[in-house]
Structure formats: structure tokens, C-alpha cells
Amino acid sequence: MPSFGSGHGTDWYAIWPSVGVNIAPPACESPQPLWNNRLGTEVEVGMVTIGWIGHRRRGFTLLEVLIVITVIAILSMLIIPRAMAARRTAKEAQLRGNLKQIRDAIERFEGTTAAWPPNINDVMAANGAAVSSDMDGQGGQVDRMAYDGPYIVTGDGTLPKDPFTGASDWNYNNATGDVHSSSGLSALGGSSYTSW
């Protein structure tokens, strides 16, 4: 154990540079020995009080980690179903909008040509000559000369897509002009999308 001189300070400088303090004790008082103090306590030297910073463990305890995981799990159980329902509701709204747009185009085709479109893509034909057939599904004659389409114009030149299948694979009946989704899923209300 190192010894301190009485008010002299010669051994003092041998110890204190290792803890980052470079002061001499006052000559009138003798310093307290450092080895009697535990880490994390203050060391009083003469008139000066020096805080000795002890080694502190960093990190989380197992209990803290488990609590955080539990809170995240509870929040996920509350938020994820609502987010999925909101996404599903948005897709249903898009499906309704796309079906309305296609049905309006089919009715306009039938109103001008006196027949249902032989193929669902005929509502996008550039002119009457581009219509795929002269007859619809119930035997009605398509008046190509009266055709004044296209009745739907999209940026990519294809029919609006079914948001649940990601394709323009609509179920179309050219005898009745009915068009429905080809998705086998059920709506949030319980009905099938194929019945919309």
C-alpha cells in the first residue's frame, strides 16, 4: 500500500495522475487514504472533494427485455389487424370503382352498338373495325359503324386491374354484359367478390 507524506505530497503525485487529477493536497491537512474508499464514492482530500466515478454496467436486464417484448407484442396485436382492415377496405373501394368504370363502359358500348361487347377489351377498341366480333353472346349484331369509343382510356392501354388478383382478369358474360371480380376471396362484410 502506498504511503502519504504528512503534508509533503511526494507520494501523492505518484497515485493521482492515474485517476486524472493533478493537484497537490494542502500542506495543513493530511489526505484520506484512497484505498479505504469503494468505487463510486467521493474521495475527500483536504479542502477539495473529488467525485470518483466507478465502473457501471451497461445494458438491459432480462426482465427489462421481456417487458419491452411484451409491450411490442401487445401493440402489434392492436395495430396490425386495424392496418390490415384499412388496407382491405381501400382495396374494396378500388374494386368498386374499377367495376363501376368497366360497367359504365359496357353500357355505353351496348347503347351505341345495340349489342354487348363480344369481348370485355372491346370497350377500349380504337374504332368499330377493331371490335373483336360482329356478334355478342346472345346473338346480337354489333353495329360497328355506330361505335364511338374507346369507352375507357387508361395510361397503360389495358383495362383497370382487379386489386385482389392484380390483373385484368374480370369474369365477363358477353350474353348479359355482367362483369365481376375473379377473386375467390370474401369481402369484409362476408359476401364474395365474385358477387359484386
Task: Give the model confidence (pLDDT) of 18-40 as tens digits.
Answer: 555 555 555 555 555 544 445 55
Asked if residue 112 is part of any domain, the answer here is: yes
The grid coordinates of residue 94 equal 378500388
What does each C-alpha distance from 123 to 65, 69, 137, 145, 146 come to in angstroms? 60, 55, 15, 15, 13
- Which position has the grid cell 354487348? 116
pLDDT, one tens digit per residue, over 57-73 is 678 899 999 999 999 99
Residue 50, pLDDT score: 53
Asked if residue 20 is part of any domain, the answer here is: no
pLDDT, one tens digit per residue, over 136-160 is 999 999 999 999 989 999 988 899 9
pTM above 0.85, yes or no: no
Asked if residue 109 is part of any domain, the answer here is: yes
The answer to whether 123 and 98 are in contact (CB under 8 A) is no
Domain that holds residue 165: 62-187
Q: How many domains does the chain have?
A: 1
Residue 55, pLDDT score: 57
